[in-house]
Amino acid sequence: MKIEGTVALVTGANRGIGKAIVEELLARGAAKVYAGARNPESVISDDPRVVAVALDVTDDASVAAAADLGDVQLVVNNAGIGRPGFPLAADLGDARDQFETNVLGIVRTTQAFAPVLAGNGGGAFVNVLSVVSWVASPLLSTYSASKAAAWSYTNSARVQLRGQGTQVVGVHVGYVDTDLIASFDVDKVAPQTVAASALDTLEAGGTEAIVDDWSAGVKAGLTDDQNALYPGVQAQYDELVASGAAA
């Protein structure tokens, strides 16, 4: 799908990866970008092509109202939340919130916008996922589970939506320099890099944007993940236990 001249909607568009995707869409010639956020006043842009929209992906009525816009050709499902928690201590309320946003949020927008995209020639969904869709992090146990579920839904939706000419792209990346992991002392990918990779894949007709070397290595290791990937995960967890950071 070519972006020039299209009308796009981005969820969670007021900061981080979402804001970077809005800017990249504009740079590639999008005719209009609906920037969705729970508080539309938090969307800051001086480009007249940006239209701030009140959008809460956890609310059925909010998503339905956004779909009533009617002219959307591309939906970028970026809105997401992450809460740390080891498997035996993860807060169930945090787990519910993450699944509500990271999984059911994508389900809602896909169901609401699929008819809109079909009516506008097919279009595309771009779903921002994570490397933890493929390899679970004990520190982010329920977040990892939500992203794995979102990846699975993305794959199944791709199969059905192909029949109406709708492209579906899953975006996988490790640590990104956003508020979500601001306190993590790790190498981070710039949000602009994620945006460029996602839209490069979209315009090339691809199905998965694998943004960084970490994600590429994990993807390659899935054929034998228990032996190729999880010994390293176990070693990292054991270090956390030894340091007193995990029980």
- What distances in angstroms separate CA 189 from CA 17, 18, 196, 213, 215, one per listed residue? 10, 14, 12, 10, 11
Q: Percent of the chain having pLDDT more than 90?
A: 87
The position carrying tokens 């969705």 is 36
pLDDT for the residue 245? 80
pLDDT, mean over the chain: 95
Is residue 143 among the annotated active site residues?
Answer: yes
Residues 6+ apart with CB under 8 A from 25: 3, 8, 10, 33, 74, 199
Catalytic residue among 143, 175, 230, 237: 143
> What span, in angstroms and rounded, lies between the C-alpha atoms of 240 and 247?
9
8 A C-beta contact, residue 218 and residue 135: yes
Q: What is the 3-state secondary structure (H, E, C) of 20-68?
A: HHHHHHHHCCCCEEEEEECCHHHCCCCCCCEEEEECCCCCHHHHHHHHC
Q: Please state, as a whole number, how many other Cβ atoms lie within 10 Å of the Cβ of residue 222.
A: 11
Q: What is the mean pLDDT of residues 221-242?
A: 90
pLDDT for the residue 171? 98
8 A C-beta contact, residue 153 and residue 145: no
195 vs 234, residue with greater confidence: 195
Judged by average pLDDT, the poorest of 100-114, 117-131, 141-155, 170-184 is 170-184
Q: Which two tokens stand for residue 18?
A: 């979402």
For 188-206, b/e burial (b = at least 16 CB within 10 A) is bbebbbbbbbbbebbeeee
Task: Convert the pLDDT of each residue in 127-159 to its tens digit.
Answer: 999 999 999 999 999 999 999 999 999 999 999
Q: What is the mean pLDDT of residues 27-47?
A: 97
pLDDT for the residue 84? 92
Give the pTM.
Answer: 0.92
Which domains can be identified in the chain, with CATH numbers?
A: 7-220 (3.40.50.720)
pLDDT for the residue 182? 66
Judged by average pLDDT, the poorest of 109-118, 159-168, 176-185 is 176-185
Q: Please state, as a whole number, how many other Cβ atoms lie within 10 Å of the Cβ of residue 244.
A: 7
pLDDT for the residue 180? 67
